[in-house]
Structure 1
């Protein structure tokens, strides 16, 4: 008893108690976080069972590149913490699973085992590993609830440098490119903004608010539905294709005119 009292009065006793208290708080917090992860995944997926099913699919089809625990390998990066939104975007556009390594994964038809259920289940499993952006709800991506005019201003300020004013895409450096947005659903556009796939930067809610994202989606959908009253749209790529067409048509017209003029002179002589 005297020894315990002596330890209590030791100058370092208060620091030892503080460290012990912090350690206990940390362990309790970690326990709650681990317990909350399946619930978080269930919210993202709709069912707790999706986490287990998603893990089975991940091990069978994704672990060879991303690792058994999604920790990453020499072939593919870690996807712990990327969230369900990133998985939903990559799988629903056919970019994952990737067929061949390259500077950028292209959009392609879905793999045979990939369907709506498989995407939801793998998304739930990855969400359970470390959280991250979740798949947006229907109202978050509804173009009818957005302001296309305001969205156009935001799109021109943040996106046309890569995607072109009409979302037609364009070339980047080192073999990468900004893809055409015409095939992208509103959900995929929203997911791309919050996850930043490939060379695209992340536009989180502090940079572009959820309402502004919805406005941009409204603009993209409106533009893709517009017709080209002047004739051929030429892919809406911009002045490069328009200049090439003008040059080719002009040169052909000049050559034909020269042939016609020389033919007239020969007839006269």
Structure 2
């Protein structure tokens, strides 16, 4: 009887190891979840001191040569005090900055920084002085009035960017870039910061809701290509007339020669 009881109450030799393993798994999982939540919060908080400090390091290593150690500006680059986070997010997020080479205007190219680094740079510059901020998601989601946006775009933007947003040439080697593949965030930021040769459209000129409508129209144009067939780059009557002269008249001449040769 006594031997049976002792054998029944004895724990397995691996029970302690199993309990330790279960405890480590739960502890590690809780720590990982807490770390991930803290990191996500830091990535999205543009006002945290840690984000600003990281942005300052990136700025001094990559931007200070042209803009100065304190972003005060130099002979090679303007001051960035007061431009706000929107200007940095647009210029750096589209790859225009850092500039690849000097020219009439900065060329768009693949971004040189990650999204997190762009946010850090934007946070640092925004901490130097008040300026336009990165727009809220509901202003760039394309959920506005496309008809109103089309009218506003024709009045304020089409003379440079073309009515279909295909872009166009300006003076002295400058140009208005195409808007066919530009995100809503960058379109909004361009309107409030006026990059390159573009004028600034503040909230007194075009309200945030009207800017949202313009973005909605451009997204509609992006998603609905020309229903009439080959759009010839949407560059307007010059391109269309040239196409008719070259290919239309060329086809008529070719048919005339063929008919004459056949009759002979």
Report the counterpart of residue 154 of structure 1 in structure 2. Answer: 152
- Count of matched residue positions in the alignment of Structure 1 and Structure 2: 222
Structure 1 stretches lacking a partner, 5+ long: 1-41
What do you get for the CA RMSD once the two structures are aligned? 1.7
1:120 is the counterpart of 2:119: yes
Q: Give the TM-score taking structure 1 as reference length.
A: 0.79
Alignment of 1:41-52 (within 5 A): 45-52=46-53
1:61-90 deviation digits (Å, cap 9, x = unpaired): 011111111122222211111110000000
Q: Work out whether residues 84 and 134 of structure 1, in 8 Å CA contact, stay in contact via their aligned partners in 2.
A: yes
Report the counterpart of residue 76 of structure 1 in structure 2. Answer: 77
1:180-225 deviation digits (Å, cap 9, x = unpaired): 1112111000000000000000000001001110011111101111
Whole-Å separation in 2 of the counterparts to 1:134 and 1:44? 13
1:145-174 deviation digits (Å, cap 9, x = unpaired): x11111111111101001111111101111
Give the Å deviation of 1:241: 1.1
In structure 2, relative to structure 1, the CA distance for the partners of 1:182 and 1:250 (3 Å cut) is: same
Whole-Å separation in 2 of the counterparts to 1:258 and 1:69? 72
Report the counterpart of residue 229 of structure 2 in structure 1. Answer: 231
Report the counterpart of residue 11 of structure 2 in structure 1. Answer: none
Report SS of the residue matched to 1:203. coil
Structure 2 stretches lacking a partner, 5+ long: 1-42
Whole-Å separation in 1 of the counterparts to 2:45 and 2:157? 28
1:186 is the counterpart of 2:184: yes
Larger Rg: 2
Q: Give the TM-score taking structure 2 as reference length.
A: 0.80
1:133 is the counterpart of 2:132: yes
Q: Work out whether residues 44 and 84 of structure 1, in 8 Å CA contact, stay in contact via their aligned partners in 2.
A: no
Give the Å deviation of 1:44: 7.1
